[in-house]
């Protein structure tokens, strides 16, 4: 999960004007943003940082975990379908055997 947190930001102006600085990080790390304004009424600096290598590794790891989980779910579903099919086949065979046994008994009872 991505976490946003506030970080320390340094803003300097030559004339006292409004300066808005917004910094967001996705990984807890130190970020310093310096904004300098000379005759601007407003300066806005927006930085978004994350550790690219770490983020890529985390994303890759999450993707791999998701793939393994999806494969496990698919295999489980296949096993469930096979087990259900085997159970139904057993019931069908038992029903057929019951019919044959009943037919055999009827034939034996009718024999002279």
Span 51-90, pLDDT tens digits: 566 667 777 888 888 999 999 888 888 888 888 889 999 9
Q: Does 25 map to a domain?
A: yes
Using CA atoms of 52, 55, 61, 66 in order, give the dihedral in degrees to the nearest 10. Answer: -130
**The pLDDT of residue 60:** 82
Would 94 be classed as within a structural domain? no
The pLDDT mean for the chain works out to 71
Whether 1 shows a pLDDT value over 50: the answer reads no
In which domain, by residue range, is 1 found?
1-50
pTM: 0.35
* 56 within domain boundaries: no
Residue 6 CB burial class (10 angstroms; 0-12, 13-18, ≥19): exposed
The tally of domains found in the chain comes to 1
Q: Is residue 6 part of a domain?
A: yes
C-alpha to C-alpha distance for 59 and 2, rounded to whole angstroms = 11
Flag whether 15 is in a domain: yes
106 found inside a domain? no
Asked if residue 35 is part of any domain, the answer here is yes
């Amino acid at each position: 999960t991505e976490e946003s947190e506030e970080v320390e930001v340094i803003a300097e102006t030559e004339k006292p004007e409004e300066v808005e600085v917004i910094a967001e990080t996705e990984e807890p790390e130190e970020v310093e943003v310096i904004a300098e304004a000379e005759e601007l009424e407003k300066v806005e600096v927006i930085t978004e940082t994350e550790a690219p290598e770490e983020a890529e590794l985390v994303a890759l790891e999450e993707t791999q975990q998701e793939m393994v989980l999806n494969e496990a779910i698919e295999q489980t579903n296949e096993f469930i379908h096979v087990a259900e099919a085997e159970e139904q086949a057993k019931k069908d065979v038992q029903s057929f055997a019951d019919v044959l046994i009943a037919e055999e008994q009827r034939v034996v009872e009718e024999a002279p």
